């Protein structure tokens, strides 16, 4: 299978540490296992370091487009770190054209964001559409998609399966700012809808959940077209 995996930046780092090395080691082992059977592109988020820089720039009065550029650079730094950690190449794709070029020669690619105004989740969806992926996995720090923000509302319920239209209603009014994109933004949903890409949102801790999602186990939240 061709699989695109979005690794949320908050999985790679924590508020207390730029790099969660124990997690990265465990993730690397899982990715090596996946690589034996599947072609894979990994898209990394910016994490806490990205938010630190963006908050500093915002206080300086820097506009959102340039804050987004800062976030993209940090996501690419995370991608380079993960790529080197798993013995991958030093060259990180900066464009869709790069991805198409590299994918013809590599079984695994790690990359960050592509352009301002676009979350790395949207980037993952675009790449999944570009390579005609069989599955998009969005690995985050919650068990899936909830009826409300589980960090703010303990009564929030996890949703096992949801349609694109239902998600559009849930995320239509979410704020879109550099470093604070929602779990799934509206642009991501539009791309998933037009490309008809199967997608699942899972908790990336432990990384073994990613393999469980590939196997089709009942984990996380499955996104279906209708």
CATH number at residue 48: 3.40.1160.10
The mean pLDDT value for 49-57 works out to 92
Q: Report the candidate in 125, 115, 77 with the shortest Cα–Cα distance to residue 95.
A: 115
Q: Report the candidate in 30, 51, 1 with the shortest Cα–Cα distance to residue 205.
A: 30
pTM metric for this prediction: 0.94
Q: Is the distance from CB of 142 to CB of 150 less than 8 angstroms?
A: yes
Cβ neighbour number for residue 205 with a 10 Å cutoff: 17
194 preceded by a cis bond (ω within 30 of 0): no
* 66 pLDDT above the threshold of 90: yes
Strand-pair category, 145-146 with 39-44: unpaired
- The count of domains in the chain is 1
- Give the model confidence (pLDDT) of 91-131 as tens digits: 999 999 999 999 888 889 999 999 998 999 999 999 999 99
Q: Name the residue range of residue 126's domain.
A: 2-224
* 55 pLDDT above the threshold of 90: yes
Q: Residue 47 — pLDDT band, cuts 50, 70, 90?
A: confident
The mean pLDDT value for 167-188 works out to 72
The mean pLDDT value for 183-208 works out to 94
Q: Is the distance from CB of 78 to CB of 59 less than 8 angstroms?
A: no
pLDDT value at residue 181: 56
Kindly state the greatest CA–CA separation across the chain.
48
Cβ neighbour number for residue 161 with a 10 Å cutoff: 14
């Amino acid at each position: 299978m061709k699989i695109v995996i979005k690794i949320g930046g908050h999985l790679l780092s924590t508020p207390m540490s730029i790099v969660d090395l124990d997690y990265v080691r465990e993730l690397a082992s899982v990715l090596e296992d996946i690589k034996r059977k599947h072609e894979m592109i990994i898209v990394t988020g910016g994490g806490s370091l990205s938010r630190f820089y963006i908050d500093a720039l915002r206080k300086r009065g820097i506009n959102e487009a340039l804050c987004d550029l800062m976030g993209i650079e940090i996501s690419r730094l995370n991608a380079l770190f993960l790529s080197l950690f798993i013995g991958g190449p030093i060259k990180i794709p900066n464009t869709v054209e790069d991805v198409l070029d590299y994918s013809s020669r590599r079984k695994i690619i790690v990359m960050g964001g592509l352009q301002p105004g676009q979350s790395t989740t949207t980037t993952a969806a675009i790449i999944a559409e570009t390579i005609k992926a069989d599955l998009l996995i969005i690995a985050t720090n919650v068990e899936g998609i909830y009826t409300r923000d589980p960090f703010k509302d303990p009564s929030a319920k996890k949703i096992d399966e949801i349609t694109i239209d239902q998600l559009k209603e849930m995320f239509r009014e979410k704020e879109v700012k550099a470093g604070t994109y929602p779990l799934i933004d509206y642009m991501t949903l539009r791309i998933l809808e037009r490309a008809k890409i199967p997608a699942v949102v899972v908790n990336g801790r432990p990384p073994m959940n990613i393999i469980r999602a590939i196997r089709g186990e009942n984990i996380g939240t499955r996104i279906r077209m209708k």
